[in-house]
Structure 1
Amino acid sequence: MLLIMQVLTVWLAIQLLFTIWNLSRMPKLGKSLSSQSTYYQPSADSHDQAVADHTSGKDQRSKPILSIMIPARNEEINIRQCLESVLNCRTDSIDIEVLVMNDHSEDRTVAEIQQVMQQDDRVRLFHSDPLPDGWMGKSYACHQLVQHAQGNWWLFIDADVRLEVEGLEAAMVTARSQGKGLISGFPRMETGTWLEKILVPMMSFVIAYHLPIMMVRRSRSPFFVAVTGAWLMIHPDSYARSGGHEGISTQIVEDMELARAVKRIGDPVTLANVQHYTSARMYRNAGQVWEGYKKNIFVGAGRSPLLAIGISIYYALLFILPVITLIYSLCTLDTMLIGWSLLSILIGMITKSIIDVYHGKPIWMGIYMPVSAACLIGIMMDSWRAGANGTGYNWKGRNYG
């Protein structure tokens, strides 16, 4: 047992060093990407497209247009603050249009939107057609929104997202430097209830801990991808050539599939740090946290039972076994084992604290690491079960198979 703990501790230390390096490689929203990667070079076709846009009138205005598109289903709690945060953004160098799709809401979502529309005519409201067979609800809402978009760039955001005053200007700086493709970033996650604090930061943890962030942009492989539909910016030309939401209409995790489609056509995909410019509270209670992660986690693992089991075992070994070993060593008074177990637990907590602080969370939340890992494993197993037995996943009144 002592040798196992020594090996685990060394590996945890290696992962800690990788995490620190990995986070330092993440591009920051508002900065130029031109010097950070050679992956994407504008081609002659891209130049021709830009000329065509200009001659067709899209760029004849003195400012480029940014289309902000918000799918909204039962979002009466969120939508008004979301719209107000968008409309309060500085737009010195851009014009904006704000398009909202009411996706068959059953609450006061429409009334909240209409109140904002009375104060600002940049907001336009649309009502979704009935959901066709073979479509996921959010994908169809986004697909309908783009039919009305006039912007040089498009920004999809969820209704629970809040933008800071410089958020849109910063987004366009980065978008201009990239030229084409897709840019996404995880908002600073606000948490309230206990399960939010334990689980929501794990989304950022998994990416920083495992995915070489620089490869999201530098590699053409769809394997290296991490994006979120909560804040996703895409060039209209890249959207059209990748097939858009129509090409991924059956996918539950539509944001990841859209990013993979953009990579397949050779356009760049960037995962950026957007923490300073956007925030979100995705869930409001423990039930929403569990169901939200349950809907995505097994699907995100490619619906592979082997991968789901492998991830669960890996996290159990790294973050739960040291706690069990510490309890055992305290009972047997094995001082060497106590020391190595404590060191393993401490390294895991420090790693989580570094990731949490980077993403705007308090440093003390790192102490949740063993509990967070246990909950993540529990959701993975529950998500696997729901996918395997055909019950599917429920979210906002819809069932997803």
Structure 2
Amino acid sequence: MSRLVRAASAGAVALTAHTVLNLRLLRVPPADPPPVADPVSVLLPVRDEAHRVGPCVAALLAQEGVPDLEVLVLDDGSRDGTADVVRRTAGGDPRLRVVGGAPPPAGWLGKPHACDQLAGLARGTVLVFVDADVVLAPHAVASTVALLRSTGLDLVSPYPRQVALSPAERLVQPLLQWSWLTTLPLRLAERSPRSSLAAANGQLLAVDALAYRWSGGHAAVRDQVLDDIALLRAVKRSGGRGVVADGTALASCRMYDGWLDLRDGYSKSLWSATGSLPAAAATLGALGLLYVVPPLAALRGSRAGALGYAAAVAGRALVARRTGGRVWPDSLAHPVSVLALGWLTARSWRLRRRGGLAWKGRPVG
């Protein structure tokens, strides 16, 4: 048992060291970008978002440094007056257009179909996809396009600051950034065509319009729950390059409001994120070994276990400080966060196998 604890703690130390390296290599969009030369289409799919779409739309229309900007909003069968809120917030701004979406045909999930319709209407040479729960800083679009063009990449995904207010959100949401900053070799991921080396977030994602169409766009990922990561993989398959970046200063997003909302949201997607049931079991087993076994051993007086727990807390704290999250005391609860993720993943697979997964009134699995 002591050998297992030492091995687990060594793994936690190594991964925290990798986190430190990634934080140094993480691409950061410019804080003072030059005016954008490209025509830019900002694409916003919405479905029953009346309670939160207003701040998102207001922020989109307040973008600076984008002389040729269009904002296309696709109302995907909302039943709560979302389109009315969008129009009222826009106040007749000619840069914004609301269009009604068609129901997804067989074989399509709702969001990829909405994004596909938006891309078909867009005239920009850069497409910027945004979610309705995101609020952009005034320079966000210009900075994102500047990063895309200055790096020669085909897709960039500046990861927004994740707002977590309730205890459940504070426990689980920080794992989003922590996971890829800890495990994904960022510079290799930029260059490699391997689908396993991909991380992206559709909350804010910019793609060159030609590369998007060359990859097949959302039609190529029509049945994918995690369409953002799938789109990056499609771009890679077509010979393009893309990467996740630091969007902390560009955007904020509160994905879920409390435990029930978070539980259902993660249950919808975690089965897809883990790929297969054996892969999910292996991933959760590895996480448990690295981040639960050492603190349990530390409670029994193991110095190696204490070192492993300290390394895990340090990695979590470094990511939180960099990404605008709450550092203390939340980082101390990292083993509990990992256990919560394991329960959510198991629930996601259980519902998947029973055919009980749905989101906003539509089946997703």
TM-score by length of 2: 0.94
Whether 1:301 and 2:266 are equivalent positions in the alignment is no
**Cα offsets for 1:133-183 (capped at 9, x unmatched):** 111000111111112111120100000111111112211211222446211
Task: Give aligned-pair identity as a percent.
Answer: 28
The CA distance in 2 between the partners of 1:179 and 1:149, in whole Å, is 22
User: Could you give the per-residue CA deviations for residues 343-364 of structure 1, whole angstroms, max 9, x where no partner exists?
Assistant: 3222211111111111111221
Matched, 1:360 2:332: no
1:16 corresponds in structure 2 to: 16
What is the correspondence of 1:192-211 to structure 2 with a 5 Å cutoff?
Answer: 192-211=165-184
Deviation at 1:131, TM superposition (A): 2.1
User: Which residue of structure 1 lines up, in the alignment, with residue 254 of structure 2?
Assistant: 281
**Alignment of structure 1 residues 172-321 onto 2, 5 Å:** 172-179=145-152, 181-302=154-275, 304-321=276-293
The 5 A counterparts of 1:37-116 are 63-91=37-65, 94-116=67-89
1:6 Cα offset (Å): 2.4
User: Structure 2 CA distance, aligned partners of 1:202 and 1:112?
Assistant: 32
Shift of 1:389: 2.9
Deviations 1:330-384 (A, max 9, x none): xxxxx4x2x3333322221111111111111122121120110000111111112
Q: Residues 11 and 178 from structure 1, CA distance in 2 versus in 1: closer, same or farther, beyond 3 angstroms?
A: closer
Structure 1 residue 83: Cα displacement: 0.8
1:31 is displaced (CA, Å) by: 8.2
Whether the 8 Å contact between 1:94 and 1:169 is mirrored in structure 2 is: no
Query: Contact (CA 8 Å) 1:154, 1:234: kept in 2 or not?
Result: yes
Please tell me whether Structure 1 or Structure 2 has the larger radius of gyration of its CA atoms: 1
Give runs of ≥4 in structure 1 deviating > 4 Å. none
Q: Report the Cα distance in structure 2 between the residues aligned to 1:381 and 1:65, rounded to whole angstroms.
A: 44
Amino acid at match of 1:289: L
Give yes or no for the alignment of 1:139 onto 2:104: no
**Structure 2 gaps, min length 5:** none
1:222 touches 1:260 (CA, 8 Å); kept in 2? yes
Distance of 1:229 and 1:319 partners within structure 2: 28
TM (norm. structure 1) is 0.86
Label 1:209 to 1:149 Cα distance change in 2 as closer, same or farther (>3 A). Answer: same
The whole-number CA distance in structure 2 between the counterparts of 1:237 and 1:173 is 17
Q: Tell me how far 1:64 sits from its aligned partner.
A: 2.4
CA distance in 2: counterparts of 1:326 and 1:155, whole angstroms: 47
CA distance in 2 between partners of 1:132 and 1:193 (Å): 37
Residue 351 (1) aligns with residue 315 (2): yes
Partner in structure 2 of residue 381 of structure 1: 346
Query: Within 2, Cα distance between the matches of 1:150 and 1:385?
Result: 43
Moved more, 66-75 or 21-30: 21-30
- Secondary structure in structure 2 of the residue aligned to 1:245: helix
Q: Please state if 1:30 is matched with 2:30.
A: yes
1:210-258 alpha-carbon deviations (Å, 9 max, x no partner)? 1111122111222211011111111111111111111221121111111
Amino acid at match of 1:11: G
SS in 2 for 1:142: helix
In structure 2, how many angstroms separate the alpha carbons of the residues matched to 1:26 and 1:190? 20
Shift of 1:262: 0.5
